[in-house]
Structure 1
Amino acid sequence: MKLFERLQRALSKTLGGICVVVFSVLVIDVLWGVFTRHFTEQPAWTEELARLLLVWLAILGGVLAYSGDRHLGVDVLVSHFHASTRRHARVFSHLCVLGFSVAVLLIGGIDLFRDRLDSGQMMSTLGIRKAWFYLVLPVGGGLISLLAIEKILLLLSSQDGKEEEA
């Protein structure tokens, strides 16, 4: 399982860096939009770029949070379970995440990306295909699916009812 841990650390560092860059560009874009709105005529592309960056940041940030078990979760009830029951509940939880990420984000995201790519829809002010707006869905879904599989395998491989934090 050391390979999984190294891959997760590399993924977390890479995603963290990407999120920092996307967030920095988003801040600069929004500040530029606000500045130009008050002193000149606001360029139309700033709003569309901000929307694109915010969607990408939200999905990639969710992947990053899930990779480090910092994603929103309510474990008040589960924390009172016996260790082996708690482990089973966490496996079930990660199976639900896996099912959602495969069905909705990965498969649905691929379909949405293909439909938008085939339609030729463009983002009017940025001049790029709208498909690139939606590409983050299958990317995020694929990454979350891999992380969920890793977390399930780690939980199932823990011995003697010992709970490992996935």
Structure 2
Amino acid sequence: MYLYHGFIQRLNKATEFVTMFFLIMMVVLIFVQIVSRVIIGSSFSWTEEVARYLMIWVAFLGAGFAFQYGAHMSIEVLFKKLNLNMQNIFQIISALLCTLFFLLLIVKGIELIKGSINVYSPALKLPMVIVYAAIPIGAFLQILNVIDITWKFLKNNSRGRTNE
């Protein structure tokens, strides 16, 4: 399982880098749009479109590695009052429910991709498959991270420590 965890760490670092790059591009494009609107009196239609699509990718990619930072919403007050065995059970149930939801996202995302093979964005004529691919890719990354944090949680609890 250590090889898996090392792989997840490297994958998350690469995903963080791509997400950061997309976020920077998004900010630059929005800045260009604002400046062009003020100076020229008109903005480029493609900057808004690209920024919107980058935002979709940032959200789906970032959701995966957000698990490693504990950045997703949770109810820890009740969870921490439980004994270790109950915490393990709830962690497993939570991981299974999340995984089922992410599998649904993968299936529906692939359906969306299949249905949009000949669909292009209005301004750039970008294939919408590129935009919609964020859904199954992001969901897959979330599944990998849910498995990883659940494994680490259970391993820590088996040693008698709580996951802080």
The alignment's TM-score, normalised by the length of structure 2, stands at 0.89
Are 1:125 and 2:123 an aligned pair?
A: yes
How far 1:83 moved relative to its partner?
1.1
Q: Which residue pairs with 1:24 in the alignment?
A: 24
Of the three residues 141, 144, 164, the one matched with 2:142 is 144
* Distance in 1 between residues matched to 2:120 and 2:10, nearest whole Å: 34
Residues 51 and 159 (structure 1 numbering): CA distance in 2 closer, same or farther, change over 3 Å? closer
What is the CA deviation profile of residues 109-147 of structure 1, one whole-angstrom value per residue up to 9, with x for unaligned ones? 111111111xx1110112211121111001011111222
What is the CA deviation profile of residues 13-57 of structure 1, one whole-angstrom value per residue up to 9, with x for unaligned ones? 111101110011000000000011111121110110111011111
* Distance in 1 between residues matched to 2:134 and 2:86, nearest whole Å: 35
**Contact 2:157 2:163 (C-alpha < 8 Å) held by counterparts:** no
Residues 160 and 150 (structure 1 numbering): CA distance in 2 closer, same or farther, change over 3 Å? closer
* Distance in 2 between residues matched to 1:124 and 1:164, nearest whole Å: 51
Q: Which residue pairs with 2:39 in the alignment?
A: 39
Residues 64 and 151 (structure 1 numbering): CA distance in 2 closer, same or farther, change over 3 Å? closer
Q: Which residue pairs with 2:56 in the alignment?
A: 55
State how 1:82-97 maps to structure 2 within 5 Å: 82-97=83-98
* Distance in 2 between residues matched to 1:142 and 1:33, nearest whole Å: 33
| Secondary structure at 1:123 match in 2 | coil
Q: Which residue pairs with 2:106 in the alignment?
A: 106
Q: Percent identity?
A: 22
**Contact 2:65 2:141 (C-alpha < 8 Å) held by counterparts:** no
| Secondary structure at 1:122 match in 2 | coil
RMSD: 2.0
Instruction: List alignment gaps of at least 5 residues for structure 2.
Output: none
**Misfit runs of 4+, over 6 Å:** none
* Distance in 2 between residues matched to 1:147 and 1:138, nearest whole Å: 14
**Contact 1:33 1:46 (C-alpha < 8 Å) held by counterparts:** yes
AA partner of residue 39 (structure 2)? F
Residues 64 and 160 (structure 1 numbering): CA distance in 2 closer, same or farther, change over 3 Å? closer
AA partner of residue 5 (structure 2)? E
**Contact 2:84 2:162 (C-alpha < 8 Å) held by counterparts:** no
Corresponding residue pairs, total: 163
* Distance in 1 between residues matched to 2:6 and 2:137, nearest whole Å: 20
Q: Which residue pairs with 1:69 in the alignment?
A: 70
How far 1:61 moved relative to its partner?
1.1
* Distance in 2 between residues matched to 1:5 and 1:165, nearest whole Å: 16
